[in-house]
Amino acid sequence: MVSMNNTNNNPNNYSNSLPSDVRTLIRKGDITCQTSGMCSGYAQANLVVLPKEDAFDFLLFATRNPRSCPLLEVTMPGDRMLTEIAKDADIATDLPRYRIYEKGVLIAEPTDVSDYWRDDLVSFLIGCSFSFEGEMLSADIPVRHIEEGRNVPMYKTNIPCKSAGRFHGNMVVSMRPIPYDLVSKAVLVTGDMPRVHGAPVHIGYPEQIGISSIDRPDFGESVTIRDNEVPVFWPCGVTPQSVVMDSKPDFCITHSPGHMFITDVKNVNLKY
């Protein structure tokens, strides 16, 4: 049961809501919690906001690394309103929580970045694996971290991204344990959705991609891997954030982990 004073900030209460309704509540400050599970069937997005001087390099980085940085929308400098993936959506107010970085140092974690906005800022909305998890569940492929009510486990790897100007670094992956007899099915179901990371980048043998301890993820939480299951690794939308943080740009805004932008785009439409 949900206690009354927690109603607004339980994502499960918004699983059947429309994205525009939830964004309105977020904009008013009535929702400040994580968005996992909200607006079932609709895509959510990672956010990276950078000054124009870094925007070409970062756009090129994303173009060169589409598996980990699939772009859903990029704005012109200074534009707060989105035009493609959501209607009447203000990037500075419509995410439940943001992170502000100066030269790579986290300086604030506000629920609204209007006061930080500048005319030279370019916003990058990047696909999120929440989208393909819905497709996996529809296809009767288990998603362990959802079963266990945890954040997905994520790991730094030794897989280099292609660099672009100041941006370089290794891929971050998310891991889901998959029963041996469903691995090919999981490849095909997620491979059908390249705009939200697509097929796995690695199957089994975590040490081959530089993961020394599967029980100790670098981000998120550990999940149970059963005897009949193999760890399967997908390119993760944390990659661009990790790369941006390492490169220490003068100024950067991102979403706070798990506090995503909820789009008007149905997951099924990301297949085409």
- Is residue 127 within 8 Å of 265, Cβ to Cβ? no
Stretch binding a second copy (CB under 8 A), from 13-21, 57-65, 200-208, 224-232? 57-65
Kindly indicate which of the ranges 32-40, 52-60, 220-228, 234-242 contains the residues binding a second copy, using the contact rule CB under 8 A: 52-60
Chain CA centroid to CA 36, Å: 10
Q: How many whole angstroms separate alpha carbon 272 and alpha carbon 195?
A: 9
Phi, psi at 176, each rounded to 5°: -130, 130
3 CB-near residues (< 8 Å, 6+ apart): none
The phi, psi pair for 81, rounded to 5°, reads -90, 135
State yes or no: residue 52 binds a second copy (CB under 8 A).
Answer: yes
Residue with tokens 């891997």: 225
Contact between 203 and a second copy per CB under 8 A: no
Nearer to a second copy, 2 or 76 (CB): 76
How many whole angstroms separate alpha carbon 228 and alpha carbon 226?
6
Question: What's the distance, CA 19 to chain centroid?
Answer: 17
The Cα-based distances of 264 to 89, 108, 216 in angstroms read 10, 28, 35
The nearest distance, CB 104 to a second copy, in angstroms, is: 22
Residue from 29, 160, 165, 204 that binds a second copy (CB under 8 A)? 165
Q: Which residue among 11, 41, 194, 258 contacts a second copy (CB under 8 A)?
A: 194
Contact track, a second copy, 73-112, x by CB under 8 A: -x-x-------x----------------------------
CB of 256 to a second copy, least distance (A): 25
DSSP single-letter state for residue 268 = G
Count of Cβ atoms closer than 10 Å to residue 103 Cβ: 10
Distance CA 9, CA 31 (A): 6
Among 164, 178, 186, 265, the residue binding a second copy under the rule CB under 8 A is 164
Among 13, 20, 25, 60, binds a second copy (CB under 8 A): 60
Q: Is 162 in the site for a second copy (CB under 8 A)?
A: yes
Pick the piece of the chain touching a second copy (CB under 8 A) from 91-99, 111-119, 158-166, 181-189: 158-166
* Residue 269 in the binding site for a second copy (CB under 8 A): no
Contact footprint for a second copy (CB under 8 A): 52, 55-56, 59-60, 63-64, 71, 74, 76, 84, 162, 164-165, 194
